[in-house]
């Protein structure tokens, strides 16, 4: 598993067009009041957390503890201690915790990271992913206010974020979704968990990545674990039933109309927008890397990360510098990185892979 304690400062927040570095959360005024942590089938008051939990995990738990108590939520920690789940479930959320384990296992395999799983020992430790499943719109609105209170830069987002059904933030490193948002028919809280957790893992490991990579990996995780795709960030309008499981067939139809893969369409796809064709290709390229070049994705992401770190900064002769607002790695740089790592025929290989069609699992029952 790829482990990062801090992420580079970036200008993009996934919920509202901004972003910032991942840093430890400010400690809550009190240790969560009467909040209880449920971990490895034991219960711990936040004032009496196990000694082996690192400072970063303690900080996250204490920051969300007061909100959990006030709104009737429970704090859960996954087995390996790097994912915090807040849920209103009266019983142990076995299903959600199981999906967390499956998502971690899939991403460990997909990213083929050399490091092992993060240890809960150590002075600082890996910063945990925080996942919140809001029971209803009122709880979700209260959560947006609470999260915004942790970081001043989130104030503008808090005023509009309550109209959404979910978010993914880099600072603080957290994601939330409504269990059953009003007015939405085709909705799967299971897929929301998988999709948003995958995006948080990428943020923690690699910082800012091109939009297609982030969404492509999250969709591959959804498709693998739940046998269907239900998350369509920034898409408005009706989503047909067939769109949840026919991506391989649709991609095969798209590529028949082209001589090669339109990678510029994919690589230049900006956050905060929806592009139907780019979405299918993003999913397909991740599947291509996973199945035709296993082990190649993580090194490619590290190279993208290094390119972003280098070129998102504008340096001046006097030694000063500033970040480039809304910078993203160019199509030329992304193309060069893929060709250098996988060969100049990589896009021809992709086209053949798409024309052949990818095997798909059966759509899960609804």
Average pLDDT over residues 280-291: 97
pLDDT band for position 269 (cuts 50, 70, 90): very high
CA 78 to chain centroid, in Å, comes to: 17
pLDDT > 50? residue 364: no
Calculate mean pLDDT across residues 323-342.
Answer: 94
Question: How large is the average pLDDT for residues 209-230?
Answer: 96
User: Cα–Cα distance between 192 and 34 in angstroms, integer?
Assistant: 29
pLDDT at 193: 98
Q: Cα–Cα distance between 178 and 140 in angstroms, integer? A: 7
pLDDT of residue 124: 64
- Quote the pLDDT of residue 17: 34
Residue 29 scores a pLDDT above 80: no
Asked whether 175 and 167 are in contact (CB, 8 A), the reply is yes
3-state secondary structure of 361: coil
The DSSP-derived string for 92-129 is --HHHHHHHHHHHHHHHHHHT-SS-SPPS-SSS-PPPE
Torsion of the alpha carbons at 323, 282, 112 and 174, rounded to the nearest 10: 60
CA distance 188 to 95: 13
pLDDT of 335 over the 90 cut: yes
84, β-bridge pairs: 77, 130
Contact predicate 186/230, CB 8 Å: yes
- When the pLDDT of each residue in the chain is averaged and rounded to a whole number, the result is 85
- The phi-psi region of residue 62 (left if phi > 0; otherwise alpha if psi is between -120 and 50; otherwise beta) is alpha
Tell me the per-residue pLDDT of 105-137, one tens digit each, with 9 for 90 and over.
999 999 975 444 443 333 466 789 999 999 999
pLDDT grade, residue 359 (50/70/90)? low
Nearest to 120 by CA among 78, 149, 162: 78
User: Which domains, ranges and CATH numbers included, belong to the chain?
Assistant: 36-208 (3.40.30.160), 241-356 (no CATH)
Average pLDDT over residues 25-29: 44
pTM of the full structure: 0.86
Mean pLDDT of 7-13: 33
Alpha carbons within 13 A on the beta-carbon side of 182: 6
Element (H, E) at 298: helix 297-311
Structure tokens, 86: 């807040």
Q: Is pLDDT at 156 greater than 70 in this prediction? A: yes
């Amino acid at each position: 598993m790829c482990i990062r304690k801090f992420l580079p400062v970036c200008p993009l927040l996934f919920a509202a067009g901004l972003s910032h570095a991942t840093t430890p959360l400010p400690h809550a005024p009190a240790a969560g009041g009467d909040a209880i942590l449920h971990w490895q089938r034991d219960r711990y008051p936040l004032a009496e957390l196990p000694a082996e939990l690192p400072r970063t995990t303690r900080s996250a738990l204490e920051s969300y503890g007061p909100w959990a108590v006030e709104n009737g939520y429970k704090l859960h920690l996954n087995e390996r201690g790097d994912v915090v789940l807040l849920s209103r479930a009266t019983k142990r959320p076995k299903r959600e915790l199981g999906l967390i384990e499956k998502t971690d296992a899939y991403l460990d395999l997909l990213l083929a990271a050399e490091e092992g799983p993060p240890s809960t020992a150590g002075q600082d430790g890996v910063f945990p992913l925080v996942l919140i499943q809001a029971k209803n719109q009122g709880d979700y609105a209260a959560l947006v206010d609470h999260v915004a209170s942790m970081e001043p830069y989130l104030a503008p987002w808090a005023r509009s974020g309550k109209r959404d059904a979910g978010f993914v933030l880099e600072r603080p490193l957290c994601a939330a979704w409504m269990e059953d948002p009003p007015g939405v028919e085709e909705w799967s809280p299971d897929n929301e968990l998988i999709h948003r957790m995958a995006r948080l893992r990428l943020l923690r490991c690699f910082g800012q990545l091109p939009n297609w990579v982030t969404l492509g990996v999250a969709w591959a995780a959804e498709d693998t674990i739940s046998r269907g795709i239900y998350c369509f960030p920034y898409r408005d309008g009706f989503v047909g039933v067939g769109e949840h499981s026919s991506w391989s067939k649709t991609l095969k139809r798209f590529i028949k109309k082209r001589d090669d893969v339109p990678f510029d369409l994919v690589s230049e796809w900006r956050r905060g927008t929806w592009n139907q064709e780019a979405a299918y290709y993003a999913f397909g390229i991740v599947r291509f890397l996973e199945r035709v070049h296993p082990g190649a994705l993580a090194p490619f992401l590290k190279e993208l990360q290094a390119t972003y770190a280098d070129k998102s900064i504008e340096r001046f002769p006097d030694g000063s510098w500033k970040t480039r607002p809304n910078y993203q790695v160019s199509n030329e740089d992304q193309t060069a990185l893929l060709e250098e790592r996988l060969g100049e025929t990589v896009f021809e290989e992709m086209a053949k892979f798409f024309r052949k069609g990818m095997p798909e699992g059966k759509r899960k029952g609804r």
